[in-house]
Structure 1
Amino acid sequence: MNSFTSEQTPVHASPAALRALIESRRAVRRFTAEVIPDEVIRDCLEMAVLAPNSCNLQPWSFQVVRDPALLKQLHPVCMSQNAAQAPLIIAVLARPDTWAQACKDIVTYWPEPEVPQRIRSFYAKTAPFQYNQGPLGLLGLFKRQLVRVLALRKPLMRGPNSKAQMRLWAVKSTALAAENLMLAFQSHGYATCPMEGFDEPRLRKVLDIPRQAIPIMLLAAGRQGEKGIYNPRLRFPLEQQVTWL
């Protein structure tokens, strides 16, 4: 059964099981040398891309680094931190540049024999207008002015109408996929550590990252090693961060 296209009866995990999984996830800084099987990595990536995302354009990509020589090159790029010595590192990339191809792919991979006309129309006209910023961002500038005028009469979605907004748009969806990815590894008994401490220009050279892709994190994964968790968990009081209206 294709998990991406089949109709399924909704499955509800128990709150206790979900809480146990989430609470068990910690940022692990030391890993054993045990290699994660490819089938486990693939399963985790399949769960990652089931994350909700804007307009279903799935603006992400992943570079799976398993080669020992390449991992060795990444270690100094990651400030030589212990977590970067994991047997697996996945570069999680936000892709504000893939929306046009994604609009075509929606129609190509539609999970029903016939693509509804409203879907064809949306991804042929509405979505391209919404996400295209034009040469030098000039179309985005025009759209910002147009929205400013039209919004005087009714509420409107105000973006993304600039290249900076497109970067944020892609990062938000990719972050959701990254959380799925971490919990997926946790469900298989593997630990993870999301690393933001890396030298991006050097990272781009080592991994040959596309120019417009945004590395939002390097995810180290593997079996938790001895003294892999440095400190007890600390979260601020919920009342400090939540407003009930």
Structure 2
Amino acid sequence: MSLFPSESAPLQASPAALRALIESRRAVRRFKPEPVPDAVIRDCLELAMLAPSSCNLQSWSFQVIRDPALLAQLHPVCMGQNAARAPLIIAVLARPDTWRQACQQIIEQWPEPEVPARIRHFYSKTAPFQYNQGLLGLRGLFKRQLVRLLALRKALMRTPNSHAQMRVWAVKSTALAAQNLMLALQSHGYATCPMEGFDEVRLRKVLDIPRRAIPIMLLAVGRQDDKGVYNPRLRFPLEQQVSWL
């Protein structure tokens, strides 16, 4: 039985509508200067945060940059990309450092009068053991050795058991939220461009990014301008990327 049982049966969206939305999303690099309404931004961020995340720890955060002066500072940080001239940039951050707070919040904000015993135990005992890597990663080193021994007898979740693995753990969940965010903005008629081309050292000087947060992309957002899409879409054949077992 799942640790987190669903409240209701999943709704069935129109496959054609979903395909049309996904196919319409392109990386746009030229935007019109008109601002994106706050109500649209908030709605799309709410949808982003409905993405699944490992153990529901929601290891992400977002910085919404609309101030023209701050946007101007980001343009050279993004090495002069045209997309970085968008009227809105959202910094998408992976947060391997927030698991402890998230465990506490889940217990405190559980959406039922009583927190089930299994939930309380998981977030007060199991998750802290799994995600706490200790000073200089020494606790993670101990856990890696322990897992090697215990895994001789049964299947175990072997990661994350290091600070490096925690970074990967957080980035995976944050990437799911980023895709939700792009599709939500597309549904409102706003184009996006996920930018990985930026100088992270200079970015941290411009934005107030927590030390252990990982900027995984700067998402440029706005109305698509003329010649905003540079090239036709190219995707490799399905048969090349998929194995049927």
TM-score normalized with structure 2 length: 0.96
How many angstroms apart in 1 are the aligned matches of 2:92 and 2:50? Answer: 15
- Matched-pair identity in %: 82
> How far off its partner does 1:8 sit?
6.0
Secondary structure at the counterpart of residue 58 of structure 2: coil
Task: Give structure 1 regions of 4+ aligned residues with deviation exceeding 6 angstroms.
Answer: none
1:225 aligns with 2:231: no
Q: 1:1-245 alignment to 2 at 5 Å?
A: 10-245=10-245
Deviation at 1:11, TM superposition (A): 2.2
Give SS of 1:71's match: helix
Alpha-carbon offset, residue 9 of structure 1: 6.0
The answer for the alignment partner of 2:3 in structure 1 is: none
Alpha-carbon RMSD across the aligned residues, in angstroms, is: 1.1
SS of aligned partner of 1:111: coil
Superimposed CA distance per residue, residues 35-67 of structure 1 (whole angstroms, 9 cap, x where no aligned partner): 000010000000001001100000000000000
Call closer, same or farther: CA 1:38–1:9 in 2, change over 3 Å: farther
Q: What is the CA–CA distance in structure 1 between the aligned matches of 2:186 and 2:108, rounded to whole Å?
A: 33
Q: Whole-Å Cα distance in 2 between the matches of residues 222 and 13 of structure 1?
A: 26
Secondary structure (helix, strand or coil) at the match of 1:219 reads strand
How far 1:16 sits from its partner (Å)? 0.4
- How many equivalent pairs are there? 240
Structure 1: runs of 5+ lacking an equivalent: 1-6
- What is the rounded CA distance, in whole Å, between the counterparts of 1:132 and 1:230 in structure 2? 45
Give the TM-score, by structure 1 length: 0.96
**SS of the residue aligned with 2:155?**
coil
Q: Equivalents in 2 of 1:189, 1:160: separation in Å? A: 38
